[in-house]
Amino acid sequence: MEIASLAWEYLPRLLPTALILVGSVVVLLVANYLLLGRDPAVPAEDRLRRQLAMLALTAVAVVAVILSLPIAGAERAQLLGLLGLLLSAAIALSSTTFMGNAMAGFMLRVVKNFRGGDFLQVGDHFGRVSDRGLFHVEIQTEDSDLTTLPNLYLVTHPVKVVRAEGTVVSATVSLGYDVPRARVEELLLGAATQVGLAEPFVRILDLGDFSVCYRAAGLLSDVKQLLTTRSRLRAAMLDALHGAGIEIVSPSFMNQRALPPERLFVPAAVPQVPPPEVAPEATVFEKAEEAGVREQLTAEYAQLQQQLAELGKARAAASDDAERTRLEDEIERAKDRINELKPRLDADAAS
C-alpha cells in the first residue's frame, strides 16, 4: 500500500516529463524523415548540414527532458553541469579521432577538391573514389579492392586528384648513348600518338653514367581509361623501339657479356594481339564508377528541382500565351526527367 501511494503521488509529477519525452521522440523521427529519409537525391554537402541539424535537435531534446524532470533546481543544475562535463570530456578525448575526422570531412566538402568517381592518390594509396562519408573516404584500388582512408589522413597529406577534363599520361625508358636522340624522340612521339594521346612530347629526364632516361607523355582526355592507356603507351614504346632495331638495354650490361656485334636484344616479331573489347577499368573500378554516376545523377536531380521552381515562377509571371505554353513544355520535360531519375536514386539509397 505504501508503494502504491508513493506511485500515485509521483505519477502526476512525472507526467510532463513523459509527455516531453514522447514528443521529443516524435519530433526527432519526423525531423529525421524530413531531413534525411524523404529525398534520397541530397548532395553530400547538404546531407552533412542536415546530419549536424539532427545532432543539434537531439541535444535540444535531451536538455528539454532534463529540464522537465521533477527534481529541485539545484539538482537539475548539477545534472546539466554533469551532462556538459561529459560532453566536453568526450569531445576532448576524441578530438584527434572522432571529432577530428568529422571536422576534416566538413573541410573536404567545403574545399570540394574531388568527388565520387575521381582518381585519387594520397601517399602510397591510389584509386577511384567509391564512397564519401562524414568520417572517411573509400577508394577502389587498381586491384579492385576497397581502401578506407580517414578524412583526417586526407587533410594532413597532399592529395593528388586526376582532373576529369584530362591528365598527362607518361612512361620512361633508358637507352644507351649510342642511340641518336632525334631518332628516339621521333619513335616515342609516334608511340604516344598511336595510343591516342593529344599533344605528345618527349623529355630527357637524366643523363646517367651508362644511359639516357627519356620520358614520353601526352594528354589523355578520357581519364576513365587511365590504366589501359598507361599500359598501351608502354607497349607502343616497346614495339616502336624494337621495330627500329634499338636495344632497350644498358651499355654496362653489354660490357659484361661478350657477344658478336650483330647480336641484338630485340625479340622476334609476333602478331599483334588486339586489345580486349572490355577495358579492365570497367571491372576494377565498378564501385567507383557507380559512385561517380550516382553523384552526377544527384547533382542533375537537384538542378532539375531548382529549374522546375524557377520555371513555375516564370510561368506564373508570363503574360503572353505563347511564352506560357513554351514554359509549360519545359516544365513537363523537367518533370519527365525527374520521374526518370527518382527510381534510380531511390534504388541507390535503398542499397
The domain that contains 235 carries what CATH number?
Answer: 3.30.70.100
Q: Which residues contact 41 (CB under 8 A, 6 or more apart)?
A: 297, 298, 301, 302, 341, 342, 345
Residues 248, 320 within the same domain:
no
Q: What is the pLDDT of residue 187?
A: 93
Sequence letter at residue 190: G
Please say whether the beta carbons of 136 and 154 come within 8 A: no
Helix (H) or strand (E) segment spanning residue 88: helix 73-93
Q: What is the pLDDT of residue 1?
A: 45
Task: Assign residue 120 the CATH number of its domain.
Answer: 2.30.30.60
Sheet harboring 167-175: ordered strands across? 167-175, 212-220, 198-207
Task: Copy the grid coordinates of residue 204.
Answer: 630527357
Residues 227, 206 within the same domain:
yes
What is the total residue count of the chain? 351
Q: Provide the 3-class DSSP secondary structure of residue 211.
A: coil
Residues 154, 237 within the same domain:
no
- The residues facing 159 across adjacent strands are 122
Let me know if residue 238 belongs to a domain: yes
Q: What is the pLDDT of residue 325?
A: 79
Q: What is the pLDDT of residue 250?
A: 59
Helix (H) or strand (E) segment spanning residue 63: helix 44-67
Q: Which of 267, 282, 297 is the endpoint of a domain?
A: 282
Average pLDDT per run of 10 along the chain, which is 351 residues long? 50 70 81 69 62 79 75 70 72 66 79 81 86 83 84 85 82 88 91 90 87 90 85 92 83 57 68 62 63 76 81 78 78 80 69 59
Q: What is the pLDDT of residue 279?
A: 60
Let me know if residue 211 belongs to a domain: yes
DSSP code of residue 1: -
Please say whether the beta carbons of 220 and 232 come within 8 A: no
Domain count, the chain: 4
Let me know if residue 267 belongs to a domain: yes
Q: Which of 93, 124, 150 is the endpoint of a domain?
A: 93
Going by C-alpha positions, the residue among 195, 254, 243 that lies closest to residue 221 is 195
Residues 345, 332 within the same domain:
yes
Alpha helices in 137-280 (DSSP H): 151-156, 181-194, 226-243, 251-255
- The residues facing 175 across adjacent strands are 212
Q: What is the pLDDT of residue 96?
A: 62
- The residues facing 170 across adjacent strands are 217
Query: How many angstroms separate the CA atoms of 305 and 153, rounded?
Result: 35
Residues 140, 198 within the same domain:
no
Let me know if residue 107 belongs to a domain: no
Residues 185, 271 within the same domain:
yes
Let me know if residue 268 belongs to a domain: yes
| Packing angle of the helix pair 73-93, 44-67 (nearest 10 deg) | 150
Q: Domain containing 127: what range?
A: 114-161
Task: Copy the grid coordinates of residue 237.
Answer: 614504346
Q: What is the pLDDT of residue 19?
A: 79
Q: What is the pLDDT of residue 172?
A: 92
Helix (H) or strand (E) segment spanning residue 176: none
Task: Copy the grid coordinates of residue 72.
Answer: 529541485
Residues 249, 193 within the same domain:
yes
Q: What is the pLDDT of residue 305?
A: 81
Residues 85, 10 within the same domain:
yes
The secondary structure of 262-330 as a DSSP string is T----PPP-PPPPPPSS-THHHHTHHHHHHHHHHHHHHHHHHHHHHHHHHHHHHHH---HHHHHHHHHH
Query: How many angstroms separate the CA atoms of 61 and 54, rounded?
Result: 10
pLDDT tens profile 121-150:
888 888 888 888 778 888 888 888 888 888
Residues 295, 338 within the same domain:
yes
Q: Which of 93, 125, 148 is the endpoint of a domain?
A: 93
Residues 185, 201 within the same domain:
yes
